[in-house]
Structure formats: C-alpha cells, structure tokens
Amino acid sequence: MDPSRTRDAVAGPGPRLHGDGVELSVVIPAYNELENLEPLLAELRRALAATGRPHEIILVDDGSTDGSADLIAREARRDPAVRAVLLAERRGQSAALAAGLARARGDIIVTLDADLQNDPADLPRVLGALERADVVSGIRLGRHDSWLKRASSRIANAARRAVIGDSITDIGCSFKAYRRESLAGLPMFVGAHRFLPALCAFRGARLVEVPLSHRPRFHGQSKYGIGDRLWRGIYDLFGVRWLKARLIRYEIREVDP
Ligand code: UDP
Ligand code: MG
C-alpha cells in the first residue's frame, strides 16, 4: 500500500507546490450529498470568482453510497480548480476534513459543509474577518435546524467552553477560515472538527467570530442524531482538556554572538 494514500494524523496544510499559485483552498467533507453538490459548486464558483483570488475547491467524499464520489470525480476532471479526494470508506467528518486539509495548498484555508446550510455568499465576510485574525469561526444566525438540535448545541457549546476554556460561540458552524500556519502540525483525531479553532487558539492564534447566514437542509439527511454527538462529545472534551494542558510550546532565544 502506498503510505501517502492511507492516513493523515495531522491537520495539514498540504505541501506547497512551486508555482501552483493557489491562494485560497476551500475544503468540503461530503457524505451522501449527491443532490447538494452541483448547486453548491455553482454557488461556490460565483463566490470564489468574486474574490479574484486563485483558488482550489477540495471536495472530500467520505465513502458515500449515493454516487457523490462519481459526481465529485467528474467535476474534478472537467474543472482544474476542483480536486477530488475520495475516501475508500466512510471514516467520519473529522477524517474527511483531515484528508482535505492535508492536501490544501492555499495560504488561506476555508471549510464549509456540503449540504448548502452554509451560504457561500458569506465568503467575503469570512475573508474580511481573517484580515485581522489567524482563525475565523462563523456563528449561525437565525439557525434553520430543529428546536432539539439548537438546544443541544447550546448545551454542548456551554459545556465545551466551561471544560476546555475556549471562547467559541458556535463550534457547529462549519464555515471557518484558517491562515495556513495556524493548522500546521495540529493533531487530528475522531471528533477534532469540533475543536480545531480552539486548538489553534491554544497555540496562540488570533481568533475572530463572524455572524453568518444559515439555511435549512433541503436535500439529503443530517448525519447526526443527538445521542451520537452527546456522549462522544463529552468524552472528547476531557481529551482536549488534557491535550491543552500538555501542549508543548516554547520559544527559541537567540544564541549570543
Ligand atoms: N459529513 C461527512 N461524514 C460524516 C458525517 C458528515 O463527511 O460521517 C459531512 C456532511 O456531508 C456535511 C458535513 O459533514 O457536509 C456536516 O454534516 P451534517 O450536515 O449532517 O451535520 P449537521 O448540519 O446536521 O450538524
Ligand atoms: Mg448540515
């Protein structure tokens, strides 16, 4: 087996290729999002063209069973700005994100969901906020999810802030942006997608939040129930608390001449 095709234990970013010129990478994990992918790409292309920056769209298929992978591969063949990363089997949102981040070549890395709940038209707002920060995390305004989902997010966000001491209002908003250096070498683990901005901030990154729009999911289904996030989330909280306490950070001082 070719080891470069197997696993990515750190968040990335990917290697810069000399002269590739990519400034902005958009990384999108997708599991069974067939009906959402084409409209998503159309909206994203419009938003990206408006930035005027050289970009790439990395679509990561998390072992979908609905034909999403074929669509992604087809888009990548006909549009050089689209890159397909196809996981051999479903490994979850964090794994798909890790696989995409590890291949991102841009100085700026943006993440969002494939289900059209995030609005690509918010991209300028996210990029604007990144001008005064290293990491931007969205806050979903007027959230279009069930009452139960919103209530459980509120509790989960409060618990996370209390246990690990981060300052993030709405970690479940996947629309985020990172300066390339902020992600370098960050550990990835199952569930890490809920902690990446916090982990960056623990290492000294400047974090800014921006209010963003949120839309209902019109096609496909949410991949999460309440139970699968709750227990796992609580377990992860203590893991990340441990990691925060144990992060190795040091500064090198100059050698006296
Ligand atoms: N996702 C994935 N693998 C999974 C679960 C989710 O790649 O095992 C993707 C999914 O396709 C979507 C994003 O992660 O692009 C967020 O998932 P979802 O919209 O179901 O979460 P929710 O909005 O309900 O919190
Ligand atoms: Mg969603």
Say whether pLDDT at 18 is over 80. Answer: no
Percent share of the chain, pLDDT over 90: 81
Distance 257 CA to ligand 2 centre (A): 57
Classify strands 176-179 and 55-61 as parallel, antiparallel or unpaired: unpaired
Q: Which ligand is nearest to the CA of 66?
A: 1
Classify strands 135-140 and 176-179 as parallel, antiparallel or unpaired: antiparallel
pTM of the model: 0.94
Say whether pLDDT at 254 is over 80. Answer: yes
Compute the average pLDDT of residues 76-82. Answer: 97
How many CB atoms lie under 10 A from the CB of residue 161?
15
- What pLDDT is stored for residue 224 in this prediction? 86
- What pLDDT is stored for residue 232 in this prediction? 83
Summarised one tens digit per residue, pLDDT across range 174-222 is 999 999 999 998 989 999 999 999 999 999 999 999 999 999 999 999 9
Residues with CB under 6 A from ligand 1: 29-31, 33, 62, 90, 92-93, 96, 113-115, 117, 172, 222-224
Compute the average pLDDT of residues 139-148. Answer: 93
Domains of the chain and any CATH numbers: 10-245 (3.90.550.10)
- Enter the DSSP assignment of 47: H
- What pLDDT is stored for residue 251 in this prediction? 86
Say whether pLDDT at 25 is over 80. Answer: yes
Give whole-number Cα distances, 40 to 34, 72, 226, 257, in Å.
10, 12, 26, 57
Say whether pLDDT at 27 is over 70. Answer: yes
Compute the average pLDDT of residues 139-143. Answer: 95
H/E stretch holding 141 reads none
- What pLDDT is stored for residue 9 in this prediction? 61
Which ligand 1 atom is nearest residue 115's CA?
15
Instruction: Bin 210: left if φ > 0, else alpha if -120 < ψ < 50, else beta.
Output: beta
Among protein residues, the one with the nearest Cα to ligand 1's atom 16 is: 113
Nearest to 59 by CA among 218, 40, 167: 40
Compute the average pLDDT of residues 231-257. Answer: 90
Query: What band does 47 get if pLDDT is binned at 50, 70 and 90?
Result: very high
Q: Which ligand is nearest to the CA of 111?
A: 1
Query: What band does 53 get if pLDDT is binned at 50, 70 and 90?
Result: very high
- What pLDDT is stored for residue 5 in this prediction? 63
Give, for ligand 1, the residue of 113, 119, 140, 215 to mutate: max count of ligand atoms closer than 8 Å to Cβ: 113
Give the chain's mean pLDDT: 92
Q: How far, rounded to the nearest angstrom, does the alpha carbon of residue 65 sit from its chain's CA centroid?
A: 22
